[in-house]
């Protein structure tokens, strides 16, 4: 199955006095993915704001607290996921950035799980970008 061409990750937007590039926003996925690959839920949770909403791929539970997210990632990390963005687009709106598209996870049994994703990031008062919304849903089976 082909997802089409990869979207370029280029450009900059001014946020306060700081220029924020789409590549710096995309690097937030890399940070999150490294947290997954570490197997340590605490490293993944560092990427999320305290008030974040997670609509996870492998659960029907809405995760509204860090404890909810911790429980989800404790289970998910048992699959030893390694993620990659297949195609997506980053858009920056001041102190908010949205990265949406399709991604894949290779898990411990060798299977690849493909999913839609949306990460919404917010620049915190200390300048750090955190996930405030994360929606991930498995792609339907192709015909």
**Which pLDDT tens digit goes with each residue over 79-101?**
999 999 999 999 999 999 999 99
Indicate the pTM of the whole model: 0.85
First vs last Cα of the chain: how many Å apart? 10
Boundaries of every domain in the chain: 14-138
Cα–Cα distance measured from residue 58 to residue 78, given in angstroms and rounded to the nearest whole number: 12
Sheet arrangement for strand 48-55: 48-55, 129-138, 112-123, 96-106, 82-93
pLDDT score, position 41: 97
Phi, psi of 41 (to 5 degrees): -55, -35
| CB environment 69-101: b (16+ within 10 A), e (fewer) | beebbeebbebebebebbebebebeeeebbbbb
Q: How confident is the model at residue 143 (pLDDT cuts 50, 70, 90)?
A: low
CATH no. for 14-138: 3.10.450.50
């Amino acid at each position: 199955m082909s997802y089409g061409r990869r979207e370029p990750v280029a450009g900059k937007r001014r946020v306060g006095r700081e220029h924020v590039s789409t590549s710096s926003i995309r690097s937030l996925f890399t940070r999150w993915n490294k947290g997954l690959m570490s197997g340590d839920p605490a490293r993944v949770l560092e990427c999320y704001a305290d008030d974040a909403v997670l609509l996870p791929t492998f659960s029907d539970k809405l995760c509204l607290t860090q404890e909810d997210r911790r429980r989800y990632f404790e289970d998910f990390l048992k699959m030893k996921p390694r993620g990659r963005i297949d195609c997506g687009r980053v858009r920056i709106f001041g102190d908010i950035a949205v990265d949406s598209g399709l991604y894949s996870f290779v898990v411990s049994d060798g299977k690849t799980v493909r999913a839609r994703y949306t990460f919404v990031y917010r620049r915190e008062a200390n300048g750090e970008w955190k996930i405030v919304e994360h929606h991930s849903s498995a792609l339907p089976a192709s015909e």
